[in-house]
A and B are shown apart, each in its own frame.
Chain A
């Protein structure tokens, strides 16, 4: 016994001692659902007619990924990185900090901004941008883009634009109009006004033109209008429905739905030669085509199975394949820019909502809890979706983040708003 005791002691020490080893690893497999807290401090220097920090703060909040601190909780007002005390910002639990200042120049203003990583205690980004006096909002959106990209690694979409249709007036004196505005709804311009309905605006890939449907000739017809020159061309005038125009990724073709054969079918028109290629051939309604980002296939809505579902048409094989099997109403499919997700309108228990389907595992997720949603359109960075919905009896536009975490309504004073379309990156 006496000889065994030292062995036992050593064995116990090995079991419980371990004084100098760093082998312990804890596994972290999930994170928080909350948005990233960020503080955007009002910019100093020259007083500006626009509140740059507020625009940046709103942009970041709308993306669904950031939770900007409210102004009342901002405990200090630095305008440059030298003035920043990291400890202050740790105390209010903010991960990031944006500071800046403006000065006047001959051409307008020079805005300087810096992005700070609070917990890393370092400056991440610093830049100065020159804008003319009436481009202040653009400057703010530029800052939002840079901040967003620096933190998330994804290109910001705050400098893009949207198109939408408004309807005003009583039933027998209704006026319809097509507008283009900043992605946050500001700076709207009317580009078409009519007593007849306007539908389905679609941006060309270069952002210069809009295709849309107008009933001004007494029947639906498709037009292409150049935004800079306001010149436009009517590209179809077939009997029956001429609807749902969308541009191919190379900008040379327009997919559409034409019912001149008796029922709506998907056609592709070559814009240069005005030649038409018919893609579908059956008795059902085939409409709402939209191109995949690689240009090799289109998603479209068809009720050939009894109710509207989404199908993919492969341009190579000429075959159509059904994509949606959840629920009995899925329509208006739109691809994410990476082609891996399909956004759509899905009728569920609480009505018609924006939903997305992961094309790898076919899992469907409903993104909104409103019930009269229509016309989803994806931001060019794939992070947000704009759509039309109802607020009481008014048509309004909503935006929801692609992960469903955040949503907001666009402000509108122009009557019923519907049919939004998100522009490509405007460079």
Chain B
């Protein structure tokens, strides 16, 4: 609508209207001068003319002229009236157009206002919702923080527990170690004491022998003493040899202990590698297999001595033993160690099933 205003203004109609008025006026003015020259020409011909008009003709002509004048005036007035009416109409039309335009603008403004209000309301609601969301997010964050804190707390406790357990285990290990060392020490001391005692005894024996030789002259007591000394010497020698045999046994036993430990680890590793823990197994499941080996390390017999209650699990542990066998390193074990492993148990209890 704004564009139309610029394009089509009051200018042209006004110009035309004014021009028309002027034109009509000019026309009406021009007629009077036109009739004047006619009258002056009839005055020149006045001498010869005998007017044939009667007074009543003249009067009639005057009346007609008046009527014509009145008519033309009426026409002129009508034209003027028409003119005015048209101008009026145009003014009214323009008036209406202006009013319409104004009304439209108002309506547009109103709708815009409404939209703005609506938008405000929506913005407010959105704000509220955002605030709610924010509050919920905050609550969640706090819950998370709480939970995280609890988890951290639990973790700390777990770690403390773990540390304690490890410390305990370490202590035990150290105690065990200390005990073993103490035992070894005691044995060494015992050996030392024995060796010293032996040396002492030998010295004493020597002494006695020397005394016996010195006492050779006393035949009766010397002979009796010699007999007694000989008997003592015999018993001492027997003791010495038995002690020597014992030392050998101790050395063998130590070697056997080390070999047994090594073999135990070997068995453990081999069985672990061969054990397919079945799906569905839990950390609570436990089965014990008792097995018999030949000195060559071959498996004679393996059986479940304590079942887990789960057939798959039981089968898997038997299979593990059967797959890991034979344990050929058994042949290299000293006899003492070998004896332990002719019959032993395997206790299956998974610790970290996923």
Contacts and interface: CB of A to CB of B under 8 A. Distances in A.
Let me know if chains A and B touch directly in the complex, using CB atoms closer than 8 Å: yes
A117 B323 contact: no
Interface string B265-302: 00110011111111110000000101000000000000
A325 B144 contact: yes
Nearest to B197: A1
Q: How large is the interface on B (under 10, 10 to 19, 20 to 34, 35 or more residues)?
A: 35 or more
A151 B275 contact: no
- Most B Cβ at <10 Å: residue of A9, A28, A151: A28
Contacts of B129: 283
Interface string A212-252: 00000000000000000000000000000000000000000
Interface in A266-286: 282-284
A32 interface: yes
B347 A25 contact: yes
Contact of B340 (A1, A24, A151, A322): A24
A152 interface: yes
A391 to B, nearest CB: 27
Given A120-B319, A306-B140, A403-B279, A16 B350 contact: no
Interface residues of A, number: 50
Per DSSP, chain A at the interface is: loop
- Most A Cβ at <10 Å: residue of B140, B279, B322: B279
Given A24-B344, A26-B344, A322-B143, A9 B315 contact: no
A304 B340 contact: no
Contacts of B277: 31-32
Given A151-B312, A306-B140, A365-B354, A32 B273 contact: yes
Contacts, number: 152
Contact of A32 (B147, B201, B274): B274
Contact of B279 (A1, A16, A154, A284): A154
A30 B350 contact: yes
Contact of A22 (B257, B273, B344): B344
A34 interface: yes
Nearest to A383: B279
B318 interface: yes
Contact of B242 (A9, A13, A16, A305): A9
A65 B350 CA distance: 17
Contact of A12 (B235, B250, B347): B250
B277 to A, nearest CB: 4
A26 B267 contact: yes
A119 B319 contact: yes
A115 to B, nearest CB: 12
A29 B349 contact: yes
Nearest to A263: B129
Given A16-B256, A284-B133, A25 B250 contact: no
A27 interface: yes
Contacts of B190: 8
B132 interface: yes
Contacts of A35: 276
Interface in A391-420: 402-404
B242 A27 contact: no
Contact of A119 (B194, B280, B318): B318
A95 B323 contact: yes
Contacts of B197: 1
Interface in B97-145: 129, 132-133, 136-137, 140-141, 143-144
Given A16-B256, A17-B336, A24-B341, A306 B132 contact: no
B268 A26 contact: yes
Contact of B243 (A5, A20, A31): A5
A117 B346 contact: no
A169 interface: no
A153 B310 contact: yes
A51 interface: no
Nearest to B312: A153
A350 interface: no
Nearest to A64: B279
A127 interface: no
Contact of B194 (A1, A12, A16): A1
A22 B290 contact: yes
Contacts of B280: 152-154
A304 B267 CA distance: 56
A31 B283 CA distance: 12
Given A29-B350, A36-B276, A152 B239 contact: no
Given A12-B250, A120-B322, A28 B347 contact: yes
A9 B239 CA distance: 12
Interface in A1-58: 1-2, 5, 8-9, 12-13, 15-22, 24-32, 34-36
8 contacts: A13-B249, A22-B343, A24-B341, A26-B264, A26-B267, A29-B350, A119-B318, A402-B279
Given A22-B343, A26-B267, A119-B323, 7 more contacts: A8-B246, A15-B253, A16-B249, A22-B345, A25-B344, A25-B347, A26-B264
Interface of B: 129, 132-133, 136-137, 140-141, 143-144, 147-148, 187, 190, 194, 197, 201, 235, 239, 242-243, 246, 249-250, 252-254, 256-257, 264, 267-268, 271-280, 288, 290, 310-312, 315-320, 322-323, 336, 339-341, 343-352, 354
Considering the complex of A and B, which 5 residue pairs feature the smallest CB-CB distances, nearest first? A16-B253, A119-B322, A31-B275, A305-B140, A153-B312
